[in-house]
Amino acid sequence: MLMSVSALAQQALFNTQNLTSPEINKDGTVTFRVAAPKAVKVELTGDFLSKPVEMKEQRGVWTYTTPVLGPELYSYQFKVDGLDYLDPSNVYRNRDIVSFTNMFIISKEKGDCGDMYSVNNVPHGNVNRVWYDSPTLGTQRRMTIYTPPTYEKGGSYPVLYLLHGAGGDEEAWVTLGRAAQIMDNLIAQGKAKPMIVVMSNGNANCDAAPGEWHKGFYKPSFMSHSESPAKATTEEAYKDVMSYVEKHYRVQKGKNNTAICGLSMGGFHTYAISKLYPGKFGYVGLFSAALNMGGGNTPVDQQIANDKTISKQFKTLFSAKNKPNLYWIGIGKTDFLFQQNVGLRKYMDANNYPYEYYETEDGHIWKNWRNYLIVFSQKIFK
Amino acid sequence: MLMSVSALAQQALFNTQNLTSPEINKDGTVTFRVAAPKAVKVELTGDFLSKPVEMKEQRGVWTYTTPVLGPELYSYQFKVDGLDYLDPSNVYRNRDIVSFTNMFIISKEKGDCGDMYSVNNVPHGNVNRVWYDSPTLGTQRRMTIYTPPTYEKGGSYPVLYLLHGAGGDEEAWVTLGRAAQIMDNLIAQGKAKPMIVVMSNGNANCDAAPGEWHKGFYKPSFMSHSESPAKATTEEAYKDVMSYVEKHYRVQKGKNNTAICGLSMGGFHTYAISKLYPGKFGYVGLFSAALNMGGGNTPVDQQIANDKTISKQFKTLFSAKNKPNLYWIGIGKTDFLFQQNVGLRKYMDANNYPYEYYETEDGHIWKNWRNYLIVFSQKIFK
C-alpha cells in the first residue's frame, strides 16, 4: 500500500543515473561504470591502483574492471576530462579535509578486515556527539563517544581514548576509521572487551569538525581552523576530556581500565598525553606517530635524550608505579615517519623501557590505522 | 610549532582546487566559482533559481553571481557538459536518497531562519545514534536522539518525536532538517522549552539509514529498502520506540509533555500514530502530510468518513480525556498534497475537532519543513 505513494520523495532536485557502480563481481574483480557521453577521456583513480587507469567507453558509459582485489575498504573517484568526479551511483563517501572519495568494501570471509569494517548483523553500540566544557581551553568542544552494545543494560566499562591525525577531527575515526564497526565486530566475536571509545578533537584551536561549530561553513584547510591561537595544547587540555567522560559515563577507572592510542599527530598526542599523565594509562598505542614535532634534523632519540623535561617524563612514566602494561608502536615500512619511530625505539631500548613493536607494509594510510586499531584493541584490558 | 608538520595530512589521494565558492558577498549576492578548463558549457542549478543558469568562463574558471538572496539554507550543484557536478570548493553537502547537493546558509540578522539553521555560539545539545530492540518488528533498529544542552546536568524533559518523509531516514532531520541547530537556537533564545527530540526511522522494512545496517553499501532507491516485507507497520511498532525512550532517558511523561510531528510520509505516520495511541500526545503536528496513502480518487474527508475504524479512532482521539492540546496542520500553497489536507480539515471541521492551520508559500520542500519545525516547536509544552 505504501508503494503507491512514490510521488512522495523528499525534495529531489536533480536527476540520477541508473547504473550499478561499483559492482563487486563474484570472481573478486570490481567493475566501475559512469555515464559521461560528452567526455573525451575518463580515468579511474583509487588506492587499489598504482596510477590512474583509463576507462573504456561504449554508448556514453565508461567502464573499468579491476583485477581481483583482496579484503579492504577502498577509496576511489573518477577523473572526467581532468575534473575530479565522484561516482554518482555510489552514495558512500568519505571526506578527508577538503577531498571526498567514494568507498567500497571487499570481504572474502568472516573475520577478514573487510568483514571487520562492515556493519554486520550483530549488536551495535551507540555513537554520540557530545559537547563538553573545556575550562583549560575556555571553549565548549565536541567529541564522539562510542558506547558498547551492552552499555544501556548497565555495568561499568573500560575506556579507550582514540585520537585522529592532523587534518582530521572528531569524525575521522567513525568515518574513515570505521571504529564503530570494528568495535561492534570485535566485541561480538569476543575478541575485544566491551569498552567505551572516546574520539576527541585534537585541534585545540577549534571546537569541532568543520561546519559543526560557530565558525560556520568555512573551507577547511590543513590544521588552520581558527585565526586565534588556542589557550593551551591538546595534551594540556586533555584532563578536561577525561574528567567529563569519568563524570558522565559509567567508567572503570585505574590504569588497567584506561587506554589511549592515536594516529600520526594523534600518535604524537598519545605520546605526549601518556607522559603528561603518568600512571593514568595502562595501554598506550602509537599509530604512525609524528614524533619530530619541533622539526629540525636531530634524530628523535637524541632529541629526547637532550631534553631534560621529556627524558624525566619518560622515567616517571616507566617507573614501577606508573609503567603501562603495554606501550605499543605500530608503523608501516614506507611511512615517511618511519625513521622518527626508529629514533623513539632506539631511545626506549637504550633506557630499557619496554614496548611492543608492530611493523606493516605500506605507509601513512588509513588501511594501516584501521588495522592497528583491530590489533591494539584486542590487546587491551586483558 | 605544530605548523611545521604540514606533511602530516591524513591520506590525501587527490588534488583540490584553491577557489572560494560559494562566496557570500557583502551586498547579499552570492558568487559561485568552478574550475573546468576543458568544459564547453557549465551551468548552475539550485533551489534559489527557477531554472539552471549558464556560468561565464575566464581562464578556465566559470563564475556566476546571483541576485540578492534572502535568509535561507540553499542547495545547489553545477552541471558540467551535462554532468551533475558538486562544488569541489564546498565540503558542505546533503544527501537525499541518491542525490547529493552542496549547501550554504544566508543569514541577515539574528533570529532569521538562516540564523536558526546556523551553529551559533550557544550551548549545544548532544546528538546520539541509538540502537534499540523492536520486538514488534523483530529487529534491532537505529534512531537519532537530540538531548538539550542542560540534559547532562540532570532533570527530566518533555519529548518531541520528529518523523521524516518517504526517501528519508533517521538522518534526514539532523542533516537536511537542521533540527539540532534549530533546537539549540530556540532553546538558547528562550523560545522553545528544552526538550528531547527523537528522530526514529519510519521505514519499517529496514533497520537504519543506507550503509548503517547489515544490508551493506546498497544503492538506495525510493522506499525500497529490503526484499522482505516488514512484520508490522511503523505506527504499530511505534510503541517500541516510545518504550525505549521512556526507559533510557529522563522523560517527563503524560500528554502535556509528549509531542509528535512529521513531514510528508512522516505526516501520515504522525496522523496514524496519534490515532493509534489516543491520549499519548498532547501536541500533534502534520507537516505537508500524505493522507491518501491508499491511493484512489475519493477525497480524504470522504475516505475518513466512510472508514468506520478511522472515524472511531478520531472520535476517541478527540474525546475529552484524550484531546490533544494542539493539532497543527501546516502545508504550502503549491504542495501536491494540498487537496488531501483540505480534505482532512473538511472532515475535522464537520466533526468539530479543533486544529490550528498554518499555510505557507511554496510546495513539498525542506524550506517549509524546517520552518514548520521552528513554528511548531515553539507552541508545545507550554
Tens digits of residue pLDDT in A153-183:
999 999 999 999 999 999 999 999 999 999 9
* pLDDT value at B12 more than 50: no
Domain boundaries, chain B: 16-106, 116-377
pLDDT one-digit tens code per residue, B29-74: 999 999 999 999 999 999 999 999 999 999 999 999 999 999 999 9
What's the pLDDT score for residue A253? 96
Residues 6+ apart with CB under 8 A from B342: B300
What's the pLDDT score for residue B162? 98
Chain A stretch 347-376, residues whose beta carbon is closer than 8 A to a beta carbon of chain B: 364-366
* pLDDT value at A12 more than 50: no
Amino acid symbol at B177: G
What's the pLDDT score for residue B296? 87
- Nearest CB to B9 within list A90, A97, A125: A97
Region A44-53: mean pLDDT is 96
**Grid cell of B151 as nine digits:** 540534559
Q: Is B135 left (phi over 0), alpha (psi -120 to 50) or beta?
A: alpha
What's the pLDDT score for residue A97? 87
Cross-chain Cβ contact B121/A214 below 8 Å: yes
Residue of chain B whose alpha carbon sits nearest to that of A50: B13
CA A69 to each of CA A24, A25, A27, B165: distance values in angstroms, whole numbers, following the listed order: 10, 10, 10, 38
In the β-sheet with B23-24, what is the strand arrangement from edge to edge? B23-24, B30-35, B61-65, B56-58
Cross-chain Cβ contact B131/A119 below 8 Å: no
Residue closest to A159 by CA, chosen among A283, A237, A259: A259
Q: Which residue has the higher pLDDT, B118 or A9?
A: B118
- Which residues, listed in sequence order, are joined to residue A85 by a DSSP beta bridge? A78
Residue A26 in contact with partner chain B when CB distance is under 8 A: no
Residues 6+ apart with CB under 8 A from B65: B25, B29, B30, B31, B32
Residue A334 in contact with partner chain B when CB distance is under 8 A: no
Checking DSSP bridges between strand B93-96 and strand A356-360, what pairing results, if any? Answer: unpaired
What is the Cα–Cα distance from B262 to B369, expressed in whole angstroms?
9
Residue whose entry in the numeric block shows the C-alpha cell 565548549: A140
Residue A52 three-state SS: coil
Q: Are A39 and B40 in contact (CB under 8 A)?
A: no
- The CA dihedral of A225, A229, A230, A236, to the nearest 10 degrees, is 110
Q: Are B174 and B127 in contact (CB under 8 A)?
A: yes
User: DSSP assignment of A228-274, as one string?
Assistant: SPPSS-TTTTHHHHHHHHHHHS-B--SGGGEEEEEETHHHHHHHHHH
**Grid cell of A84 as nine digits:** 575530479
What is the Cα–Cα distance from B179 to B162, expressed in whole angstroms?
9
Region A12-29: mean pLDDT is 76
Residue closest to A18 by CA, chosen among B252, B165, B220, B25: B220
* pLDDT value at B320 more than 50: yes
Residue whose entry in the numeric block shows the C-alpha cell 518517504: B166
Cross-chain Cβ contact A126/B123 below 8 Å: no
Residue A18 in contact with partner chain B when CB distance is under 8 A: no
pLDDT band, very low/low/confident/very high, at B23 (cuts 50, 70, 90): very high
What is the Cα–Cα distance from A376 to B15, expressed in whole angstroms?
32
- Nearest CB to B14 within list A12, A77, A264: A77
* pLDDT value at B11 more than 50: no
Q: Are B329 and B288 in contact (CB under 8 A)?
A: no
**Grid cell of B66 as nine digits:** 546571483
* pLDDT value at A294 more than 80: no
Cross-chain Cβ contact A98/B80 below 8 Å: no
What is the Cα–Cα distance from B291 to B306, expressed in whole angstroms?
15
Q: Which residues in chain B have their CB less than 8 angstroms from residue A123's CB?
A: 131, 140
**HEC assignment per residue over A301-349:** HHHHHHCHHHHHHHHHHCCCCCCCCEEEEEEECCCCCHHHHHHHHHHHH
What is the Cα–Cα distance from B209 to B82, expressed in whole angstroms?
30
Q: Averaging pLDDT over each range in A347-351, B35-39, B98-102, B296-300, which range is the top one? A: A347-351
What is the Cα–Cα distance from A300 to A282, expressed in whole angstroms?
24
* pLDDT value at A10 more than 50: no
Checking DSSP bridges between strand A93-96 and strand A83-85, what pairing results, if any? Answer: unpaired
What's the pLDDT score for residue B84? 94
**Quick count: other Cβ atoms within 10 Å of Cβ B54?**
12
What is the Cα–Cα distance from A197 to B83, expressed in whole angstroms?
41
What's the pLDDT score for residue B17? 57
pLDDT one-digit tens code per residue, A119-149: 999 999 999 999 999 999 999 999 999 999 9
Q: Are B183 and B195 in contact (CB under 8 A)?
A: yes
Question: To probe the interface with A, which of B16, B24, B78, B83 has the most A CB atoms within 10 Å?
Answer: B83
Distance of CA A196 to the CA centre of its chain: 16
* pLDDT value at A8 more than 60: no
**HEC assignment per residue over chain B:** CHHHHHHHCCCCCCCCCCCCCCEECCCCCEEEEEECCCCCCEEEEECCCCCCEECEEECCEEEEECCCCCCEEEEEEEEECCEEECCCCCCCEEEECCEEEEEEEECCCCCCHHHHHCCCCCCCCEEEEEEEEECCCCEEEEEEEEECCCHHHCCCECEEEEECCCCCCCCHHHHCCCHHHHHHHHHHCCCCCCCEEEECCCCCCCCCCCCCCCCCCCCCCCCCCCCCCCCCCCCCCHHHHHHHHHHHCCECCCHHHEEEEEECHHHHHHHHHHHHCCCCCCEEEEECCCCCCCCCCCCHHHHHHHCHHHHHHHHHHCCCCCCCCEEEEEEECCCCCHHHHHHHHHHHHHCCCCCEEEEECCCCCHHHHHHHHHHHHCCCCC
Q: What proportion of chain B, given as a percentage, has pLDDT over 70?
A: 95
What's the pLDDT score for residue B223? 74
Checking DSSP bridges between strand B326-332 and strand A56-58, what pairing results, if any? Answer: unpaired
Cross-chain Cβ contact A88/B92 below 8 Å: no
Enumerate the H helices of A111-219 as residue ranges: 113-117, 172-175, 179-188
Cross-chain Cβ contact A217/B105 below 8 Å: yes
pLDDT one-digit tens code per residue, B219-274: 998 876 777 789 999 999 999 999 999 999 999 999 999 999 999 999 999 999 99
Q: Are A135 and A240 in contact (CB under 8 A)?
A: yes
Chain B stretch 144-183, residues whose beta carbon is closer than 8 A to a beta carbon of chain A: 149, 152, 164-168, 172, 176
Cross-chain Cβ contact A9/B217 below 8 Å: no
What's the pLDDT score for residue A17? 57
Q: Are A122 and A184 in contact (CB under 8 A)?
A: yes
Cross-chain Cβ contact B45/A14 below 8 Å: yes
Residue A153 three-state SS: helix
Amino acid symbol at B113: C
Q: Which residues in chain B have their CB less than 8 angstroms from residue A36's CB?
A: 83
pLDDT one-digit tens code per residue, A315-324: 999 999 999 9
Region A74-87: mean pLDDT is 96
Residue A68 three-state SS: coil
What is the Cα–Cα distance from B59 to B62, expressed in whole angstroms?
8
What is the Cα–Cα distance from B93 to A271, expressed in whole angstroms?
35
Residue B338 in contact with partner chain A when CB distance is under 8 A: no
* Shortest alpha-carbon distance between residue A257 and chain B (Å): 24
Checking DSSP bridges between strand B61-65 and strand B56-58, what pairing results, if any? Answer: antiparallel
Fold of B116-377: Rossmann fold (3.40.50)
Q: Please give the class, per CATH, of domain A16-106.
A: mainly beta
Chain B stretch 231-290, residues whose beta carbon is closer than 8 A to a beta carbon of chain A: 248, 263-265, 290
- Write the DSSP symbol of residue A69: -
Residue A37 in contact with partner chain B when CB distance is under 8 A: yes
- Give the predicted TM-score (pTM) of the model: 0.95
* Shortest alpha-carbon distance between residue A315 and chain B (Å): 25
What is the Cα–Cα distance from A338 to A335, expressed in whole angstroms?
5
Residue closest to B290 by CA, chosen among B312, B306, B269: B269
Residues 6+ apart with CB under 8 A from B147: B125, B126, B128, B157, B196, B249
pLDDT one-digit tens code per residue, B138-177: 999 999 999 999 999 999 999 999 999 999 999 999 999 9
Helices (H) and strands (E) in chain A, counts: 9, 18
Residue A45 three-state SS: strand
pLDDT one-digit tens code per residue, B99-153: 999 999 999 999 999 999 999 999 999 999 999 999 999 999 999 999 999 999 9
